[in-house]
């Protein structure tokens, strides 16, 4: 899904990073420019499009009434999916979701679920019978690296801006809204690329093409960690992991202000 990159460019990116510099001029802890556009799509209960440099991700929230899981009869259900549609990159192909799309959906899902940011008990209509099922759909529009962070931002923003349909006599009335989703937190994911000995936040496409390993850290408002994912073949030392977590917790505070 990454495509090719010239060896000479690869070497240059690595060489610059050894000096603490990046090819696009950013520092190791700088994100690219972030723009969040909210509720662009009226057919969704809530939506957001996030641009992270050249990356663009849309997320939409749809809600339907359905049955709860039997082991959690008084809780609403969250279902997260991601589509890497071929419109977004010459390296994406149509067809059922492949492992990269599934990984993104699952990592975003864990961050949201484990942060407890949606108070799912408040999504229960009738215990054991009827609860809200929240579909969170990630639609990648332009792929220029770091889909994890762009997707999490888009999802949280879509959830925060969603308006729930009204419920009357156990039926959803989609034309009328009954207020926001019960949101208790704003989890933020921060993704770091290890390239040689350097570890840089928010890798853009070319950095993703050369990185040895990737680490995504999702943190809550309180600065606690709610989800992590290490990716690709390279490794991190214990010290690098701890150090990167500290950087991620700090960085997340900045990003959270954008919501």
Q: Give the interface with another protein as residue ranges (CB under 8 A).
A: 40-44, 47, 54, 56, 58, 60-62, 64, 81, 83, 85-90, 93-94, 96-97, 135, 137, 139, 141-144, 174
Q: Measured from the CB of residue 42, what is the shortest distance to another protein in angstroms?
A: 6
Closer to another protein by CB, 138 or 249: give it: 138
Secondary structure (DSSP) of 198-230: EEEES--HHHHHH-SEEEEEEE-TTS-EEEEEE
Q: Measured from the CB of residue 19, what is the shortest distance to another protein in angstroms?
A: 27
Closer to another protein by CB, 93 or 224: give it: 93
With a CB cutoff of 8 Å and minimum separation 6, the contacts of 184 are 116, 117, 118, 119
Q: Measured from the CB of residue 211, what is the shortest distance to another protein in angstroms?
A: 19
- The answer to whether 105 and 113 are in contact (CB under 8 A) is no
Q: How many residues does the chain have?
A: 259
Closer to another protein by CB, 12 or 135: give it: 135
Closer to another protein by CB, 84 or 210: give it: 84
Query: What is the Cα 238 distance to its own chain's centre?
Result: 25
- The answer to whether 252 and 219 are in contact (CB under 8 A) is yes
Q: Measured from the CB of residue 90, what is the shortest distance to another protein in angstroms?
A: 5
């Amino acid at each position: 899904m990454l495509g090719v990159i010239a060896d000479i460019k690869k070497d240059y990116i690595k060489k610059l990073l050894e000096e603490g510099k990046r090819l696009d001029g950013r520092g190791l802890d700088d994100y690219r420019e972030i723009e969040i556009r909210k509720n662009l799509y009226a057919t969704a209960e809530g939506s957001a499009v996030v641009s992270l440099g050249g990356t663009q991700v849309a997320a939409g929230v749809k809600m339907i009434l359905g049955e709860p899981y039997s082991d959690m009869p008084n809780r609403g259900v969250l279902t997260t999916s991601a589509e890497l549609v071929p419109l977004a990159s010459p390296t994406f192909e149509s067809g059922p979701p492949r492992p990269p799309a599934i990984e993104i959906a699952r990592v975003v899902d864990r961050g949201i679920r484990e942060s407890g940011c949606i108070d799912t008990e408040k999504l229960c209509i009738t215990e054991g019978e009827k609860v809200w099922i929240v579909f969170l759909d990630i639609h990648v529009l332009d792929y220029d690296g770091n889909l994890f962070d762009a997707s999490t931002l888009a999802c949280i923003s879509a959830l925060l801006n969603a308006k729930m349909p009204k419920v009357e006599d156990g039926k959803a009335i989609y034309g009328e809204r009954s207020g926001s989703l019960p949101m208790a937190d704003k989890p933020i994911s921060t993704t770091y690329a290890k390239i040689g000995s350097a570890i840089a936040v928010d890798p853009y496409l070319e950095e993703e093409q050369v990185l040895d390993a990737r680490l995504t850290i999702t943190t809550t408002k309180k600065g606690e960690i709610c989800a992590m994912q290490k990716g690709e073949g390279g490794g991190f030392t214990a010290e690098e992991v701890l150090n990167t977590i500290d950087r991620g917790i700090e960085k997340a505070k900045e990003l959270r202000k954008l919501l």
